[in-house]
Amino acid sequence: MELSPGSLEIFVCIVLTSSCVVGNILLITCTWMCINEHLRTSFTLIFSLAIVHLVNSLVVNVLKIVYAFGVWLDSAGCKVLMFTTTFTTTLSIWFTLYLALLYCFKLCRVVHPPAEAASRNLRKCHLVLVFALWFAAFAICSPLLLYTGKTGKLNIENETYQQFSSLIYAECKTEYKNDKIEVYYGKIFLVAIDLLPLLIMLLVAFRIAHLVWEHKKATYGGIWMGNDASETEVLRACKHVLLLILLITSLWISYFTLIYCLKNFKTYYFAPSVLTVLSSGYSAVSPYLLTLINYKVQMRCFCCKGEKTPVHLSTVSPYVSPYA
């Protein structure tokens, strides 16, 4: 029995929301159990990404499910839908870029050890920057609350059933006061704040891949790198960060292409489901990749929960690496 367009969209939203909620709760729980002495910068970014993903799924996908059941959105619902979609997408890109830059810097210090140890006074600066990104994203996306509105029930007498299933993308419109605001803010600025970080993210990905190759070449080129636990975590994290960059970049480019380049795509009955997968797929999949970044430390946290001796990431093997 073939699913109707509305049923298909509801099914997709439920699957993605369930995966997102379970994955992010698991991510937050595992990360929180690994905090012993201080809150690391990577943990702060992971918490921020988890909150962003939960907001995206519990607000945007729930509104889509409500609409798919035939409940028309009012003007407030349209404002929340458009603002939350843009706000969470932007923050997901920014925090992923921040995480990629952080681990790229750590991997660079592993492959090319500096003469001096890294300063620990930068942790407060990182926290301030994370909160600044939250505030900046809210300030940038807040005009959508002013310009977004409900166009009203569209005339569907001459429309096909396939077109009717995609009306949520036509019912909530962002109508600017003049053409200049629409061009500079709606079509250039909002795209640039996502596109530029993605381009930087790709450059960071190439740099990480090059550093991983250098580390592998050094390891098997007669230079003993050792097996320090912190170095192992950085290498494993960078490999998963590469997967995160590939995932978020491919999803954003696909979504942008379908929305802005293929004008007739939204008339197909499967368009809402495809767009939902592209817009919420990162929130549903990335928590499991983020969990794998520190999975060995997290396993120790679960296994050693009753022990008094805390587990430190800096625990090393009996053979100390000259690069540690």
pLDDT for 67 equals 81
* CATH, residue 187: 1.20.1070.10
Of all residues in the chain, the percent with pLDDT exceeding 70 is: 73
Looking at the structure of the chain, the number of domains it has is 1
Flag whether pLDDT at 180 surpasses 90.
no
Give the domain range for residue 234.
5-152+165-303
CA angle 130, 108, 223 (to 5 degrees): 155
- What would the two tokens of residue 8 be? 């298909």
Question: Rounded to an integer, what distance in angstroms lies between the CA atom of residue 291 and that of residue 83?
Answer: 28
Residue 309 belongs to a domain: no
The predicted-structure confidence for 99-109, as pLDDT tens digits, reads as follows: 999 999 988 98
pLDDT for 83 equals 92
Residue 189 belongs to a domain: yes
Burial group, residue 267, by CB count within 10 angstroms (0-12, 13-18, 19+): middle
Residue 315 belongs to a domain: no
Residue 314 belongs to a domain: no
Question: Rounded to an integer, what distance in angstroms lies between the CA atom of residue 91 and that of residue 83?
Answer: 12
- Element (DSSP H or E) covering residue 129: helix 123-141
pLDDT tier at 150, thresholds 50, 70, 90: low
Global pTM value: 0.83
Residue 200 belongs to a domain: yes
